[in-house]
Amino acid sequence: MVTDDRPVTLVDEHAHAWSPKTARIRFRDGLTGPTAGVAAGHTQANLITVPADWAYDMLLFCQRNPKPCPVLDVTDAGDWTTVLAEGADLRTDLPRYRVWRDGELVDEPTDVRAYWRDDLVSFLIGCSFTFESALARAGVPIRHLEQGRNVPMYVTDRQCRPAGRLRGPMVVSMRPVPPRHLAAAIDESALLPAVHGSPVHCGDPSGLGIDDLGRPDFGDPVDAAPDDIPVFWACGVTPQAAVMASRPPFAITHAPGQMFLTDARDEQYRVA
């Protein structure tokens, strides 16, 4: 049974101070919800898992579209571990997963061991939650965190560069930013290209083919202040859009906004 797209908001007030290992254990034990702000200062990652005979296409898709799909690690076929997190299990340690067959969403479990196969290759892709700590230090308000919501994400009319059998539109996340903080939001995120880097668009959402900010394709709508500017970053949900468009026979992804917590520190990906 497929669940509602809107996840349960994390309510533990101490989640920002957890270690990544503690977060992974909590998720393994069944806690679900958006991971924005969890284990603050540690890099978060999107997950896309495909059969080995689709892995080259996915790798090429990511290489050709580095803004929405910056690769942090790729596993060997059948391997559920990653160098980004010692002792972690990619089958159990995310809050919630999505399981796809022929491009259709068929399940949203909290554990995918029952679906695991020896031919599956996993890609860990940088996540914009990672640069939110830098934005906060620079004084940029993070509206979805303030409101206890998942970040809103939208499918755009910008097509990614195809690769083999994979094609699809770019997905973006949106954060409303006050004008006085816009430069800081751009500058701080630009220093972290491995987690999407600088925005792809600021201002009028119609420039990305988005009709209504109040109706995100993934995540939750957020309330903006009257003078806030909508700022859009490329999003690691883009491979899910490619799965829906290209219809591989099988895939596993993270549920939007519910990421893998790595042991890496944000500073490791900062370019200056």
Task: Yes or no: say if 185 and 207 are a contact pair by the CB < 8 Å rule.
Answer: no
Q: Which residue type is seen at 14? A: H
Q: pTM of the predicted model, to two decimals? A: 0.92
Q: Which residues of the chain are modeled with pLDDT < 50?
A: 1-11
CA angle, residues 41, 43, 46, in degrees to nearest 5: 145
Residue ranges of the chain that CATH labels 3.40.1640.10: 15-129+247-266
Residue 64 has a CB neighbour count (10 Å cut-off) of: 13
Pairwise CA distance, residues 111 & 114, whole Å: 8
For residue 15, the model assigns a pLDDT of: 85
Residue ranges of the chain that CATH labels 3.30.2040.10: 131-234
**CATH number of 15-129+247-266, picked from 3.40.1640.10, 3.60.15.10, 1.10.3720.10, 3.40.50.300:** 3.40.1640.10
Task: Yes or no: say if 89 and 81 are a contact pair by the CB < 8 Å rule.
Answer: yes
For residue 210, the model assigns a pLDDT of: 98
For residue 272, the model assigns a pLDDT of: 75
Q: Which fold has domain 131-234?
A: PSTPO5379-like fold (3.30.2040)
